[in-house]
Structure 1
Amino acid sequence: MLVTGVGINTEWGLLMASISEDTGEETPLQVRLNGVATFIGIVGLTVAISVLLVLLARFFTGHTKNPDGTTQFIRGKTSMGETVDGVIKIITAAVTIVVVAVPEGLPLAVTLTLAYSMKKMMADKALVRRLSACETMGSATTICSDKTGTLTLNEMIVVEAYSGKTKMDPPEDGSKLHAIVSTLLDEGIAQNSTGSVFLSKEGGIQVSGSPTEKAILSWGAKLGMKFDIVRSESIVLHVSPFNSTKKRGGVAIQGKSDSEVHIHWKGAAEIILESCTWYIDGNGCLQSIGQDKEFFMAAIENMASRSLRCVGIAYRTCEVDKVPTVEEQLSRWVLPDDDLILLAIVGIKDPCRPGVKNAVKLCTDAGVKVRMVTGDNIQTAKAIALECGILTSDVNAIEPNIIEGRTFREMSDTEREQIAKTISVMGRSSPSDKLLLVQTLRRLGEVVAVTGDGTNDAPALHEADIGLAMGIQGTEVAKESSDIIILDDNFASVVKVVSWGRSVYANIQKFIQFQLTVNVAALVINVVAAMSSGDVPLNTVQLLWVNLVMDTLGALALATEPPTDSLMHRTPVGRREPLVTNIMWRNLSIQALYQVGVLLILNFYGKSILNLEHDGTGHANMVKNTLIFNAFVFCQIFNEFNARKPEEFNVFTGVTKNHLFIGIVGSTLILHIIIIEFLGKFSSTVRLDWKLWLVSVAIGIFSWPLAIIGKLIPVPETPLAKIL
């Protein structure tokens, strides 16, 4: 052995180096969230500074009044302590606005949503290794899938069989076999095989061997053949192992009581057929193959056109005296392979997994393009793609949606980019071709998910936005390079991951709509009130309580909404779609305008509307501000239901199934009642009578019909604000 390279200079070293590189690239959602957080932070800081300057200016110019109507600051008369207290109060109000505006609940909402989805995805046979992969999968625009084991069962089975000129339909129907043919097939399948059939502990039949051997042995077992009896009643004299050049293998066996030797051959159907001169018909009679050879060739071609692997089974007899008796001569004996008698032709295939066609259709309806990337030949890949629904019509291999890996590899970068989006099937592809396709699609702006199970798939899994390794057939290197492990190796589970990913994205959008509504309303109310009267109706403690409702509890309530069927009827968001959609802008604008309008009316005209009399103690002002605070919180509680269904009229669909949502809304309501009724000193509120409670509830509940009316307003499809 000559060592030509070690470490990084070996193929293994290059592979490990390619998958260990961390590009540090952010996911599509992280990019959007950073934009939203930055925008809200800048707006909040700007508003806070503006309020600070306005309040300080009004304070030092003597325009700020106490609740009893006296001026807070009079130059030369107000003490230093009172001045400092007034300034601190103003700064606190400004800082509180920043706290309310900055979306510190956003990371919590994202993490809660991802963690909740990760836990639920385990039940759907998906193990998430990287948390952010959950939401990235929801943005996926294309899935590059393996064929074997993912779209198919990775389990070869006999799906078509001919005995003589009789087609066995189904192939396991042993009634179509003559007793002579059945006996000979039993003998040939049992002895001319490297596989084994045995009973499992549970009493079922288990088969070992190569995929082809297992398929034929399983077929024989379904026909009722007793391999153990055959093997015990016959002796193997000589074996000619399967040869990939000759594409056939044979065995010479002799029954313990027979005077003749049977030589059984099995291999590529067209090769076996060329050596056959006879066949056994349905009556068990020997017939010359003669002109009937065309029938068998047509059957083979028909099966091959449907990408079935055709295997021929034949035999011939040999006189005992022609068999070498000396061991040395027997080991060099060449089994005769002419003048064979055809027993059967079988068509074998690796069938599609149950449910894969529906899963592919779900992806297609959801706007996610499924591409098959396989090492199999074009015809096999094409047949499976048609069966799975990846191809919808019988297209030729020369068309751009079917391509060989070698052809794609030899193209220039520009040519690859032009054709990459149209490719549905790539056959005869190497791992480097798969990696090249992933890189090309990502350059075109696609969010790419890749499935793989082999060590050579690791670079493509690592390069993709979402790498999905197979949990059963996958190697450790593939799993280490992946973001999600599909525990049952089933493409249908990949579609469930897409559904959960979209649920993550939708839940985050719901939370952002809810939070922005509160942000806009709270900021506008305080800014307008501060600039007009020098006072803010929502004080620091009240704003912090609203912030708690809006951020922490709101995140908990909206982050745990399960996926719905409607999510899989939307187009994927991809990389460039804004996080805040036009529908969200419409909904939050309507709700925020309503809240701002009603609460500002209460702020400026509340005393006269409620017939609150000035008593010189500021009690009327306290009642008015408490009502504003109470109505504002009720608006958020009722609007939380609207946020559940941004596009649907019925916002209560499925709400009873989300016990966490109901529990959080109920807890929020109880805590708020406690704050108003029993913690007035802490929150600077006063107790309200039952009429004012009804007013607050009425103001809040009106957001429901308002939301329905708002959803009737059409919005343009083109995003209004790319910044978010």
Structure 2
Amino acid sequence: ELQVREEHKRISELPFDSNRKLMSTLNDIHGKRLMITKGAMDVILNRSTNITNENEVRAITSADKEEIEKTNQLLSEDGLRVLAFAYKEFNGNHLELSDETSLTFIGLMAMMDPPRPESKEAVAKCKKAGIHTVMITGDHIVTASAIAKEIGILDENSTSIEGYKIESMNDDELRELVPRVAVYARVSPEHKIRIVRAWQELGHSVAMTGDGVNDAPALKQADIGVAMGITGTEVSKDAASMILTDDNFATIVKAISNGRSIYDNIKNAVKFLLSGNTAGILAVLYASFVNLPAPFAPVHLLFINLLTDSLPAIAIGIEAPKDLVMNEKPRDIKEPLITKPFAIEILIQGLLIAVVSMVGFYSGLQTSVLTAMTMAFAVLCLSRLVHGFNCRTKEPLTLKILFSNRFSWIAFLGGFLMLAAVLTWAPLKELFEIADLTKAQYLNILGLSILPLLCIQITRRIRK
């Protein structure tokens, strides 16, 4: 390549432009100055007046054009990207855009640029996740459609369209069209912006990928612009919100999965903390209304807030991504963290824990107020530790889910051992105002603490 470049010096150049879909260079070839032009077949063909065939240059005919178009169609249907080549003898030293006319057609070159093996699986995951994947490309519509069908973007329920048709549409017509189109071919930067804006006006959040300078406006317009880290230009990277370091579409799907999992973990941790605190509040309110002694000492609540709350919440926050998260539809971007159904769920779970805590209190009250406070504290503390397993997922617990997060077990065992130390070790018993308990009372605490877990899991299995 270097030798050819040295032998045939490049004198001038017209860089590729997505609007005209051509690139031309002026080279010295065997003592002649030739403008070599490559680009889209249809554009080259429209600008060609001659054709070279077996060292003969003659006027191009309609039959020649039909044969070239037929060949291009066959190559494109196989998913090959086709470039056309032409030349023109030139006398000057500097090329102008107006020089790319009256060309002599040389031929076609087909290249295979197969999609990555993981692309088909990634597109399928997007469909399950309620994400509509669209291909926007400068390729020929036949080539783009063949590749889109191969990876699952284009199916019987969608269609493909060329950019020139978008130019004749107003914004209302385009908004009506975009839900049915999976492939846009031969598009310009202006078309890309209009497509992105049309989806946004329909109420969708739009992510746009791109690597070229011409993609920058659409990347800026999209809610999330995704630039390519390897092949992307600096302009596209500056315009993007996110940069893919491996230029792989499947990485976007993994990022969505991780993002959804992080959001779910935050919600689950909030559910754990608020449902537990709701239980404590409801128990205290109930005791006040019916004129009972306080069910908890201040030191009990301090122990729960500092130790029992923190460890399971941290474990829930680092829960590993689950496959089921990509079967859910996207949430509304305007949806608050705590919705009405979520708040009701927190209230019901908090009420369950409050009920078993007060049952423990009444059980201990038959012995003494101190015993009642001890049992209420122990039940509230242990039931919240057990409740941490409920809050790890919205699905019914299975053995696989139960043992998938070792940190959750570390948090539970750590909290359980600290509670056991407070209930049994004399120095801590005195500090935390703990009464002596019988074996029956310990079993009562254990049974009451597991009860909310059983109720919630049975309800989830019935609903499933």
The aligned runs of 1:135-150 (5 Å cut-off) are none
Distance 1:381 1:523, change over 3 A: same
Distance 1:551 1:431, change over 3 A: farther
User: Of residues 382, 389, 411 in structure 1, which corresponds to 2:152?
Assistant: 389
**SS of equivalent residue, structure 1 residue 244:** strand
Offset of residue 531 of structure 1: 1.9
Distance 1:275 1:472, change over 3 A: same
Distance of 2:163 and 2:52 partners within structure 1: 36
Q: TM-score, normalised by structure 2?
A: 0.75
Residue 635 in structure 1 maps to residue 428 in structure 2: no
The aligned runs of 1:286-685 (5 Å cut-off) are 299-306=71-78, 308-310=80-82, 347-393=110-156, 401-405=159-163, 407-408=165-166, 411-533=169-291, 535-549=293-307, 551-575=309-333, 579=337, 588=346, 591-608=349-366, 612=367, 620-650=368-398, 652-676=399-423, 677=425, 678-685=427-434
Offset of residue 516 of structure 1: 3.0
Deviation string, structure 1 residues 670-698 (Cα, Å, up to 9, x no partner): 22233333423443333434443332222
Distance of 2:175 and 2:83 partners within structure 1: 41
User: Of residues 442, 445, 452 in structure 2, which corresponds to 1:696?
Assistant: 445
Distance of 1:572 and 1:312 partners within structure 2: 43
Distance 1:418 1:711, change over 3 A: same
- The answer as to whether partners of 1:632 and 1:700 remain within 8 angstroms in 2 is yes
Deviation string, structure 1 residues 355-393 (Cα, Å, up to 9, x no partner): 111111110121110112223343333233223221024
Offset of residue 192 of structure 1: 11
Distance 1:493 1:191, change over 3 A: closer
User: Of residues 50, 53, 65 in structure 2, which corresponds to 1:276?
Assistant: 53
Distance of 1:297 and 1:531 partners within structure 2: 86
Q: Which runs of 5+ in 1 are unaligned?
A: 1-189, 197-209, 212-235, 249-266, 279-290, 314-327, 329-336, 396-400, 613-619, 716-724
Q: Which runs of 5+ in 2 are unaligned?
A: 8-14, 17-28, 56-62, 86-90, 92-102
- The answer as to whether partners of 2:356 and 2:449 remain within 8 angstroms in 1 is no
Deviation string, structure 1 residues 597-620 (Cα, Å, up to 9, x no partner): 222233345323xxx1xxxxxxx2
- The answer as to whether partners of 1:649 and 1:711 remain within 8 angstroms in 2 is no
Distance of 1:438 and 1:298 partners within structure 2: 33
- The answer as to whether partners of 2:422 and 2:429 remain within 8 angstroms in 1 is yes
**SS of equivalent residue, structure 1 residue 469:** strand
Distance of 1:474 and 1:299 partners within structure 2: 32
**Which residue number in structure 2 is paired with residue 89 of structure 1?**
none
Q: Tell me the number of residue pairs that the alignment of Structure 1 and Structure 2 aligns.
A: 419
Distance of 1:272 and 1:436 partners within structure 2: 35
- The answer as to whether partners of 1:472 and 1:489 remain within 8 angstroms in 2 is yes
Amino acid at match of 2:177: I
Which sits farther off after the overlay, 487-496 or 665-674?
665-674
- The answer as to whether partners of 2:115 and 2:147 remain within 8 angstroms in 1 is yes
**SS of equivalent residue, structure 1 residue 369:** coil
Amino acid at match of 2:80: L
- Identical amino acids, percent of aligned pairs: 30
- The answer as to whether partners of 1:595 and 1:635 remain within 8 angstroms in 2 is yes
Amino acid at match of 1:679: L
Offset of residue 309 of structure 1: 4.2
Q: Which has the higher contact order (CA 8 A, sep 6+)?
A: 1
Distance of 1:463 and 1:294 partners within structure 2: 40
Distance of 2:133 and 2:289 partners within structure 1: 57
Distance of 1:566 and 1:688 partners within structure 2: 44
Amino acid at match of 1:482: A
**SS of equivalent residue, structure 1 residue 390:** coil
**SS of equivalent residue, structure 1 residue 679:** helix
**SS of equivalent residue, structure 2 residue 114:** coil
Distance 1:597 1:534, change over 3 A: closer
**Which residue number in structure 1 is paired with residue 95 of structure 2?**
none
Amino acid at match of 2:182: S
Distance 1:411 1:246, change over 3 A: closer
Distance of 2:79 and 2:167 partners within structure 1: 25
Bigger CA radius of gyration = 1
**Which residue number in structure 1 is paired with residue 456 of structure 2?**
707
Offset of residue 625 of structure 1: 0.5
- The answer as to whether partners of 1:524 and 1:596 remain within 8 angstroms in 2 is yes
**SS of equivalent residue, structure 2 residue 290:** helix
Distance of 1:542 and 1:352 partners within structure 2: 61
- The answer as to whether partners of 1:447 and 1:574 remain within 8 angstroms in 2 is no
